[in-house]
């Protein structure tokens, strides 16, 4: 036995014991020792627990697979979420199944709600995808995401009213549930089905007609879910007890801001401002062609700078921009596809118009063989720029309107986006006229003041709902702005004020016009951040968060 009188003096045998224990710790002997009983088994041992939970035959024409959840059996263990993650080899925090709950403030009733993709008959993700990265499989009805086709624009995240597709930052694409269709093809159950200790999730065959009938019969597949007639979800939720009417999702009172989508905020702000500047250019050409002469080039150049920066920023939004050339694939249904294509057409026209304007004002620098640039040509190019620009902004509006979110309704989005265009045009014109011209006609002042008032109105009207007694999407959006986004709101209003003040000062000190334009940019940018963050994300019932 050791005697350890002097702790500093390590003896050989001490070291030996520690070393041998450390070495022993590295030896993994279990597997050599305990042989596997099922090494060569071709039979799947788990089969017995799920064979009644999947159909015995494949879907026939007009039929598809669907998830059916027996709410009576689901007791909230949440295993399905983790098993999906493990059995599908997903990333650390990735699962294609989500869990939430319905709770009531009037009774002790509660219900856990498990959900994955509803493999809709009319999938919004598929309809919205600009590059055709979704397919509705003919034989199974599974809505399949093509990972290598995806450009990571995340639009499907906004389009799906159930919050199913999720962006994977590391991969730069979205991924989603494929109902383990390869397992089903081999007679195996999907991960969630085979892991549920209560057998609450099963796969059923359902016809498209039944899906339609269900959507017509009941507003949504379960309380708290979006109305079914939008995408025709195939999942069914059944319960022997009637879920109480007062039930709300566990995250109903969440006022957590949604994703800010900064590159998109920049893109939207700048393209809308740019179109506004072009519109100002056109207006002055029409209404005061003499006076406008000194402003035409500055306006065009400003529009180009804003527009190009905006479009460049939109590329930063994409997780996998390499495949973005495929954006024409979605033209038939996707507003995003249309928006990208149209902005893509608008920019060359704007550049051409700018070139013509510059050339038109410097005819001597042009080679002789070029035809003369007549005012008619310039008017035509100015009109084309503005018309294309406005259609593009309209597409931008529709991109959001088409996501069915209350905060992004046609009226609200149009007032915000077109408001930016109007304000951008008016303020830029005013600022540039103070910088480059001798006079600023009253009409410009009038337009500028009008658009400022319009903007203030559009912004504040959305806050009114905060005082509603009824809990609603509008109230949530208002509370998100007033509470969670308070700093952004303050900056937005400071910038707005700064724009007004510096425009006024610019009457005396023209250089302040630059501050006016910069603060206008910033103010509208933060407004657009609020646009993205204050929206209530449509999703399946979730749980308390904060």
Partner 1 sequence: MKLKSKLLKKIPSIVEHSGPKTRQLLRTPGKFGLGQVPRSITPDYTTTMVCGFCSTGCSLNIHMKDGQPVNLTPDSNYPVNLGMACPKGWEALEPLKAKDRATTPLLRNKQTGELEEVSWQTAMHTFTDKFKAVQEEHGKESVAFISTGQIVTEEMAFLGSLTKFGMGIKHGDGNTRQCMATAVVSYKQSFGFDAPPYSYQDFEQSDVIILIGSNLCIAHPIMWQRIEQNKLNPKIIVIDPRTTETAIAGTQHYPIMPKSDLTFFYGIAHILIKNGWIDNDFIKSNTNEYDDFATHVEKFTPELVEKESGISIEQLENLARTIHEGKNVSFWWTMGVNQGHEAVRTAQSIINLALMTGNIGRPGTGANSITGQCNAMGSRLFSNTTNLLGGHAFDDPAARTKVANVLEIDETCIPEETGLAYDQIIDGIHNGTIKGLWVIATNGSHSWIHQDRYNKAMKKLDFLVVQDMYSSIENAELADLVLPAAGWAEKDGVFINSERRIGLVKKLATAPGQALSDFNIFKLVAQYWGCGEMFKKWSSPEAAFKILSELSSGQPCDFSGIQDYDLLESNRGIQWPCTKDDIAGLTTNNERRLFADGKFYHQDSKAKFIFSDPVPVAEPTSNSFPLILLTGRGTSAQWHTQSRTGKSEILKKLYPESVYIEINPSDAAKLNIEPNQMVKISSSRASVQATAYLSNSVQEGQTFMPMHYAKVNRLTQASFDPYSRQPSYKFCAVNISTTL
**239 contacts: CB under 8 Å, gap ≥ 6:** 70, 71, 72, 111
Give the x/- contact pattern for partner 1 in 280-319, rule: CB under 8 A: ----------------------------------------
* Stretch of residues binding partner 1 (CB under 8 A), selected from 84-92, 120-128, 285-293, 508-516: 84-92
Nearer to partner 1 (CB atom), residue 200 or residue 423: 200
Cα–Cα distance for residue pair 461/414, rounded to 1 Å: 14
Nearer to partner 1 (CB atom), residue 38 or residue 467: 38
* Residue given tokens 């979205």 in the structure block: 174
> Degrees (nearest 5) of the Cα angle 75, 181, 135?
115
Closest distance to partner 1 from the beta carbon of 464 (Å): 19
Closest distance to partner 1 from the beta carbon of 452 (Å): 35
- Residue in 61, 89, 438, 487 binding partner 1, rule: CB under 8 A: 89
Cα–Cα distance for residue pair 76/96, rounded to 1 Å: 17
> Degrees (nearest 5) of the Cα angle 401, 545, 255?
45
Q: Which residues pair with 201 in a beta bridge?
A: 69
* Residue given tokens 């304000």 in the structure block: 423
**Helix or strand or coil: residue 186?**
coil
- Under the criterion CB under 8 A, does residue 324 sit at the interface with partner 1? no
Closest distance to partner 1 from the beta carbon of 487 (Å): 18
Cα–Cα distance for residue pair 191/394, rounded to 1 Å: 43
Residues 503-522 close enough to bind partner 1 by CB under 8 A: none
Nearer to partner 1 (CB atom), residue 194 or residue 269: 194
Nearer to partner 1 (CB atom), residue 143 or residue 452: 143
By rule CB under 8 A, what count of residues binds partner 1? 96
**196 contacts: CB under 8 Å, gap ≥ 6:** 73, 74, 79, 80
- Residue in 12, 45, 56, 370 binding partner 1, rule: CB under 8 A: 45
- Residue in 85, 475, 492, 528 binding partner 1, rule: CB under 8 A: 85
- Residue in 54, 57, 65, 73 binding partner 1, rule: CB under 8 A: 73
- Residue in 60, 62, 86, 312 binding partner 1, rule: CB under 8 A: 86
- Under the criterion CB under 8 A, does residue 38 sit at the interface with partner 1? yes
Residues 97-116 close enough to bind partner 1 by CB under 8 A: 99, 103-112
Nearer to partner 1 (CB atom), residue 109 or residue 139: 109
First to last CA, the chain: 58
Closest distance to partner 1 from the beta carbon of 1 (Å): 5
Cα–Cα distance for residue pair 137/64, rounded to 1 Å: 9
Angular region, 176: left φ>0, alpha ψ -120 to 50, beta rest: beta
Cα–Cα distance for residue pair 55/407, rounded to 1 Å: 41
* Stretch of residues binding partner 1 (CB under 8 A), selected from 74-82, 225-233, 452-460, 520-528: 74-82
Nearer to partner 1 (CB atom), residue 71 or residue 429: 71
- Under the criterion CB under 8 A, does residue 536 sit at the interface with partner 1? no
- Residue in 52, 58, 62, 76 binding partner 1, rule: CB under 8 A: 76
- Under the criterion CB under 8 A, does residue 364 sit at the interface with partner 1? no
- Under the criterion CB under 8 A, does residue 341 sit at the interface with partner 1? no
Closest distance to partner 1 from the beta carbon of 77 (Å): 4
Closest distance to partner 1 from the beta carbon of 255 (Å): 7
Q: What one-character DSSP code corresponds to residue 376?
A: H
Note the helical H segments in 318-366: 335-361
Residues 4-33 close enough to bind partner 1 by CB under 8 A: 4, 7-8, 10, 14-15, 17-18, 21-22, 24-31
Cα–Cα distance for residue pair 140/227, rounded to 1 Å: 24
Give the x/- contact pattern for partner 1 in 168-207, rule: CB under 8 A: ---x-x-x----x-xx--x-x-----xxxxxx--------
Residues 444-463 close enough to bind partner 1 by CB under 8 A: none
Computed from CA positions of residues 291, 293, 297, 300, in that sequence, does the dihedral angle turn out positive or negative? positive
> Degrees (nearest 5) of the Cα angle 257, 263, 269?
90
Neighbours of 494 (CB within 10 A): 14
**Helix or strand or coil: residue 153?**
coil
- Residue in 43, 61, 240, 372 binding partner 1, rule: CB under 8 A: 43
Residues 379-418 close enough to bind partner 1 by CB under 8 A: none
**Helix or strand or coil: residue 100?**
strand
* Stretch of residues binding partner 1 (CB under 8 A), selected from 47-55, 271-279, 461-469, 513-521: 47-55
- Residue in 75, 289, 362, 374 binding partner 1, rule: CB under 8 A: 75
Closest distance to partner 1 from the beta carbon of 441 (Å): 52
What torsion do the CA atoms of 431, 435, 440, 444 make, to the nearest 10 degrees? -20
Residues 124-153 close enough to bind partner 1 by CB under 8 A: 132, 146-150
CB 358, CB 281: distance < 8 Å = no
CB 71, CB 111: distance < 8 Å = yes
Residues 241-260 close enough to bind partner 1 by CB under 8 A: 252-255
The widest CA-to-CA distance across the chain, in whole angstroms, is 108
Measuring CA to CA, which residue among 343, 341, 345, 361 is closest to residue 300? 361
- Under the criterion CB under 8 A, does residue 63 sit at the interface with partner 1? no
């Amino acid at each position: 036995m050791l005697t350890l009188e002097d702790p500093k003096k390590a003896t050989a045998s001490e070291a030996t014991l520690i070393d041998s224990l450390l070495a022993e710790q590295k030896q993994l002997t279990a597997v050599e020792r305990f042989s596997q009983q099922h090494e060569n088994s071709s039979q799947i041992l788990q089969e017995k627990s799920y064979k009644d939970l999947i159909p015995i035959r494949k879907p026939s024409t007009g039929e598809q697979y669907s998830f059916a959840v027996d709410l009576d059996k689901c007791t909230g263990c949440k295993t399905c979420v983790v098993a999906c993650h493990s059995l599908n080899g997903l990333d650390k925090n990735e699962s294609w199944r989500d869990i939430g709950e319905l709770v009531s403030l009037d009774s002790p009733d509660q219900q856990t709600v498990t959900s994955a993709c509803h493999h809709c008959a009319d999938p919004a993700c598929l309809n919205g995808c600009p590059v055709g990265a979704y397919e509705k499989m003919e034989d199974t009805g599974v809505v399949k995401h093509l990972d290598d086709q995806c450009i990571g624009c995340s639009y499907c995240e906004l389009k799906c009213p159930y919050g199913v597709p999720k962006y994977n930052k590391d991969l730069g694409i979205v991924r989603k549930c494929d109902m383990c269709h390869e397992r089903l093809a081999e007679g195996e159950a999907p991960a969630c089905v085979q892991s549920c200790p209560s057998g609450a999730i099963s796969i059923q065959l359902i016809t498209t007609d039944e899906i339609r009938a269900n959507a017509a019969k009941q507003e949504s597949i379960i309380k708290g879910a979006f109305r079914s007639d939008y995408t025709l979800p195939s999942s069914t939720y059944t319960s022997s007890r009637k879920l109480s009417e007062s039930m709300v999702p566990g995250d109903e009172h969440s006022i957590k801001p949604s994703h800010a989508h900064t590159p998109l905020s920049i893109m939207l702000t700048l393209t809308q401002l740019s179109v506004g500047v072009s519109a100002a250019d056109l207006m002055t050409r029409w209404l005061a062609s003499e006076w406008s002469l000194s402003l035409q080039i500055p306006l065009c150049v400003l529009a180009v700078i804003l527009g190009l920066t905006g479009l460049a920023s939109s590329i930063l939004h994409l997780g996998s921009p390499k495949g973005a050339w495929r954006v024409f694939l979605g033209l038939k249904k996707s507003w995003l596809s249309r928006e990208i294509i149209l902005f893509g057409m608008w920019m060359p026209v704007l550049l051409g118009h700018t070139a013509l304007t510059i050339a038109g004002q410097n005819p001597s620098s042009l080679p002789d063989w070029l035809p003369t640039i007549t005012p008619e040509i310039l008017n035509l190019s100015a009109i084309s720029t503005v018309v294309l620009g406005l259609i593009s902004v309209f597409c931008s509006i529709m991109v959001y309107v088409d996501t069915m979110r209350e905060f992004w309704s046609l009226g609200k989005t149009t007032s915000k986006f077109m408001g930016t265009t109007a304000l951008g045009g008016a303020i830029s014109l005013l600022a540039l006229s103070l910088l480059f011209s001798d006079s600023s006609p009253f009409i410009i002042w009038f337009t500028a003041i009008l658009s400022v008032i319009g903007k203030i109105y559009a912004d504040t009207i959305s806050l009114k709902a905060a005082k509603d007694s009824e809990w609603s999407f509008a109230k949530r959006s208002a509370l998100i702005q007033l509470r969670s986004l308070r700093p952004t709101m303050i900056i937005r209003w400071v910038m707005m004020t700064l724009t007004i003040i510096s425009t006024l000062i610019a009457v005396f000190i023209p250089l302040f016009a630059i501050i006016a334009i910069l603060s206008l940019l910033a103010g509208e940018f933060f407004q657009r951040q609020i646009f993205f963050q204050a929206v209530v994300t449509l999703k399946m019932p979730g749980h308390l968060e904060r």
